[in-house]
Amino acid sequence: MKTLFLIGAAFLSSLTFGQTLKDAIYKTDNERYADAIKDFAALVKADPMNGELYFYYGDCYFDKGLVDSAKMMWNKSFEVDKLRALPYVAAGRVLWIDGKKPEAKVEFDKAFALTKKDKLKRAEVIRGMAKIFIKSDVKDYDQALLLLEEAIVKDPKNEDNLLLKGDALYAKTPDNASLAIKSYLAVLDINPKSPRGVVRVANIYQAAQNQEKANEMYKQAKQIDSTYAPAYRANAELNMRFGKKKAAIDDWQKYLKLNNNLEARYLYTTALFNAKEYCEAITEVNKLNAMNFSNFYTERMLAFSYLECNTDSTSIKKGLDASARFFAVVPTNMISYMDYKTKGALLMKMGMDSLGLIEYEKAIAINEIAAKELSGEVASKYFKAKKYNKAIELFNMRSKLVTLNSAEEFELGKAYYIGQKNYALADSAFSHVNKLSPSYLPGYRWRALANIGLDANNERWLAQPYFEKIIELVKVEERTLPTNKTMMLEACRYLCDYYAKSAAKDLDKTKSFYEIILQIDPNDATAKTALGIK
């Protein structure tokens, strides 16, 4: 009787343990990572020599995107347990991720050797290998697909075989997802109440920007299992992407009810930020902070959101405070050029332009991508701040990375003209403006001014063709417009002198330009005198 009692107790214990492990894996799949980690921690505490527990513990971290933590658990799996097959898969996974394929194969073969007579365990080993072939940075889709065919034969009722097969097929041929979709939908033949394959199909349609079909599939997944949280998250992201904010918020609220934890709220906050809903993102980040959840990502979101969402007079100050907290905790290798740009923009909004520009220059120094994107903006800011030498420096740096556009060439030319009185280089920049924007009047005016600088005594009348171009481009009825008036008078006065004093003397043309001057300014004394008008 005592023996029977012990056997029964052991059976009940294993049943409870199995159910608990199943629950932890389910929570992982349902994106309840924090809850799953708590369960795994309790499991390994209760049974510290069971390598399978550490194996799936590592899976939880891997699915969460924490590869180093996953490797730590897989190493622990192999360290404590050399009797079961999965710890050898765990050891092989670590080696595989580290690029040591031959060494990994040795461990995988040991796992196979331990499962020769157990079809279900062999299929489990195959899935453990296939997952790392498909989802790690070191890929081998063909090997994964080959192994999964064996797993499907040995364990035909396990939907994970088909999910992994679909993952491998889609990753291998993303432009032709028909076979992957077929594999995903076959999951419902095994388990009609499983939403996982349907969500994966919806994800494919979302990637293809087929909003209607993706939305239909997400709804189907939610109807199959109303507790499957990833369906609500993915549907919310789809709706945010296509501007359906109300529907997205509804799905996020349902997701948060199912996954009522800090990580879920963090995902929601990140989604709001990525959807450019900055005011709402501020509210959610502050809620996270109130629950003692804060990291450099939340501070980054907060700094940029306060820059974009000015709800009150304190917003910019709050943004700068968040930026300061961000730089205090962020690892150096995780700083983006956008972080410096955000801080620079906040400083400039506070009226601290010089400090702001320093941050912009830090952003440019991050990499060539940042330099290409921001150098023009920074050069223009220096120009507007009348720091012409810095503007010239930045524009010239930019010109080595990309072709300057007409606006950039125009500011470069003015910087040379005003800041350095380098009329030759100013003329060169304005000539590019004329080529890029042949109807842009200020380009011709400033090129004329640069040539006056080159020919101060009108020995060669270098400005003449550019003033002539202004007269040609301005319509008669538009000569008196405020944007044209000063330019027209300037051009006509120069051309009056040119046709009166140069070798190309033409008194009729001189007279015609004086007449235009009087049309624009009837009180011009010089024109009246020249035309004999009292």
- Structure confidence by residue, pLDDT tens digits, 171-182: 999 999 999 999
Q: Is 226 in contact with 198 (CB distance < 8 Å)?
A: no
Backbone φ/ψ region at 351: left (φ over 0), alpha (ψ -120 to 50), beta: left
For the chain, give the mean pLDDT.
93
Residues whose CB falls within 8 Å of the CB of residue 437, separated by 6 or more in sequence, listed in order: 406, 443
| pLDDT band at residue 525 under the 50/70/90 scheme | very high
d(CA 497, CA 499): 6
pLDDT tens column, 129-142:
999 999 999 999 99
Closest residue by Cα to residue 302 from 3, 353, 317: 317
d(CA 301, CA 297): 6
| pLDDT band at residue 19 under the 50/70/90 scheme | low
pLDDT tens column, 313-330:
899 999 999 999 999 999
Instruction: Taking residues 56-70, report their average pLDDT.
Output: 96
Secondary structure, 3-state, 87-154: HHHHHHHHHHHCCCHHHHHHHHHHHHHCCCCCHHHHHHHHHHHHHHHHHCCCCCHHHHHHHHHHHHHH
| pLDDT band at residue 185 under the 50/70/90 scheme | very high
Secondary structure, 3-state, 455-515: CCCCCCCCCHHHHHHHHHHCCHHHCCCHHHHHHHHHHHHHHHHHHHHCCCCCHHHHHHHHH
Note the pLDDT of residue 10: 37
Tokens of 261: 């934890």
The model carries a pTM of 0.72
pLDDT at 55 over 90: yes
Closest residue by Cα to residue 397 from 423, 355, 368, 432: 368
Q: How far is CA 121 from the centre of its chain?
A: 42
Q: Is 358 in contact with 382 (CB distance < 8 Å)?
A: no
d(CA 399, CA 428): 14
Tokens of 357: 């520009």
pLDDT tens column, 465-521:
999 999 999 999 999 999 999 999 999 999 999 999 999 999 999 999 999 999 999
d(CA 341, CA 335): 11
Helices in 400-460 by DSSP H: which ranges? 406-414, 423-436, 441-454
d(CA 269, CA 291): 14
Q: How far is CA 350 from the centre of its chain?
A: 26
| pLDDT band at residue 534 under the 50/70/90 scheme | confident
| pLDDT band at residue 202 under the 50/70/90 scheme | very high
d(CA 109, CA 131): 16
Note the pLDDT of residue 115: 96
- Tokens 């009329």 -> residue: 423
Q: Is 483 in contact with 474 (CB distance < 8 Å)?
A: no
Tokens of 37: 């980690």
d(CA 395, CA 380): 8
d(CA 185, CA 197): 6
Q: Is 510 in contact with 496 (CB distance < 8 Å)?
A: yes
Q: Is 306 in contact with 319 (CB distance < 8 Å)?
A: yes
What is the CATH code of the structural domain delimited by 209-275? 1.25.40.10
Instruction: Taking residues 431-437, report their average pLDDT.
Output: 97
pLDDT at 4 over 70: no
In the chain, domain spans: 209-275, 420-472, 474-534
Percent of the chain with pLDDT over 90: 90
Q: What number of CA atoms fall less than 13 Å from residue 332's CA on the CB side? A: 2
> Is residue 185 within a helix (H) or strand (E), and if so which, with residue range?
helix 178-185
pLDDT tens column, 253-280:
999 999 888 888 998 999 899 889 999 9
More confident residue, 160 or 13: 160
Burial label for 322, CB within 10 Å (0-12, 13-18, 19+), is buried
Angle, nearest 10°, between helix axes 51-64 and 86-97? 40
pLDDT at 151 over 60: yes
> Is residue 78 within a helix (H) or strand (E), and if so which, with residue range?
helix 67-80
d(CA 47, CA 245): 47
Instruction: Taking residues 381-399, report their average pLDDT.
Output: 95
Tokens of 48: 């510290």
Note the pLDDT of residue 306: 96
Q: Which residues of 156-182 are buried (b: 16+ CB within 10 A; e: fewer)?
A: eebbbbbbbbbbbbbebeeeebeebbe
Angle, nearest 10°, between helix axes 482-501 and 464-473? 130
Burial label for 505, CB within 10 Å (0-12, 13-18, 19+), is exposed
Note the pLDDT of residue 275: 87
Q: How far is CA 311 from the centre of its chain?
A: 25
